[in-house]
Amino acid sequence: MKDAGNHVSLINNHLRHIKSTMRAEFIRPLTGCISIITNNVPSSSDLTVIEQYIKSIEGINTNEVSPPRLPQSKSYLKIIGIPYTKPDGNKLTSNDITDYIRHTDLFESISFSSKPRVIKASPKSDMAIVWLDIWDFQNGSKAKSLINHSFNYGCHIATVRGTNMNPGVPQCHNCWKWGHLTFSCRAHSSKCQKCGGPHKLKYHRDMVWCCKANDKTNPPHLETAKGLLCPHLFKCVNCKGDHMADNNCHKLHSVISPPILR
């Protein structure tokens, strides 16, 4: 935007006219839009003044001017008090939650930043915890309007609670076990996600017996051809399934309640 300093002064004159204490400090051009840095969080009337001024600038196509909005961040919530199993016997899904709360007045102005995530409150519980990530203002006003409020979910009363970011269940990329982060792993050496041996995956063929020739066995064990990946099956170190440990171990993953951080 040309002559940005002059535009800042004119915007502030309009703000003084409505007795606003907010002031524009400078204008930063971005791709396809501009960012106006202010000394306080703008009110709705402040945003209206800014929008009207932008539309009044000579050469501006008013049809291409979108309403100004505050920078958005994410807030993290959870809903408790909802049964994990529906009346028809099926498990509660993300789509069930989304469809229901879209018609709930409490969530009328709320936009999800990702799909809700449904888990059991504990492995033996019949209740669910629903994790919600929502778009919010930097002051968290949307989350504050929801936290500790309740609403009816069928014949149940659900309550919204605030929470920290829920990253899910972490998997260590050193030992390949679920439940802790790589930097906090206590294993003395790296483990292979294929066989669980004390070596990295790229050294698997050099370190294990399965791909090497052995004439002493009956029948003799043939060497795996050079350049081929190891074709042999090993048990996953987590769920003992016939796959590598970096695959999703669904059975184990479903019974660990996130977040588990050490």
Q: Which helix (H) or strand (E) holds 130?
A: strand 127-137
Q: Contact, 118 vs 94, CB < 8 A? A: yes
Quote the CA–CA distance of 162 and 79 in Å, as a whole number: 9
Of residues 260 and 191, more confidence is placed in: 191
Yes or no: say if 132 and 112 are a contact pair by the CB < 8 Å rule: yes
Residue 62 pLDDT exceeds 90: no
Per-residue pLDDT, 81? 95
186 Cβ contact list (under 8 Å, min separation 6): none
Measured N-to-C along each axis, helices 4-17 and 44-56 cross at an angle, to the nearest 10 degrees, of 130
Phi then psi for residue 193, to 5 deg, are -75, -10
Domain boundaries, the chain: 4-64, 72-162, 170-256
The pLDDT-based confidence of 166 (bands split at 50, 70, 90) is low
In this predicted structure, the answer to whether residue 261 has a pLDDT above a threshold of 90 is no
CA dihedral 9→14→18→20, nearest 10 degrees, is: -30
**Across residues 131-144, what is the average pLDDT?**
87
Q: How do strand 150-153 and strand 156-162 relate by DSSP bridges?
A: antiparallel
pLDDT in tens, 205-259: 888 888 888 888 888 888 888 888 888 888 888 888 888 888 755 444 444 444 4
pLDDT single digits (tens) 174-201: 898 887 778 788 888 899 998 989 998 8
Indicate whether 164 pLDDT > 90: no
Distance CA 74, CA 223 (A): 54
Q: What is the mean pLDDT of residues 158-185?
A: 81
Considering only residues 29 and 100, tell me which one the structure prediction assigns the higher pLDDT. Answer: 100
Nearest CA-CA partner of 158 in 203, 237, 87, 97: 97
% pLDDT > 70, the chain: 91
Task: Kindly provide the residue ranges of all beta strands, DSSP E only, lying in 145-203, ordered along the sequence.
Answer: 150-153, 156-162
Instruction: Identify the band that residue 1 occupies on the pLDDT scale cut at 50, 70 and 90.
Output: low
**CATH fold of 72-162:** Alpha-Beta Plaits (3.30.70)
What does DSSP assign to residue 147? T
Residue 179 is classified by DSSP as S
pLDDT attached to residue 31: 64
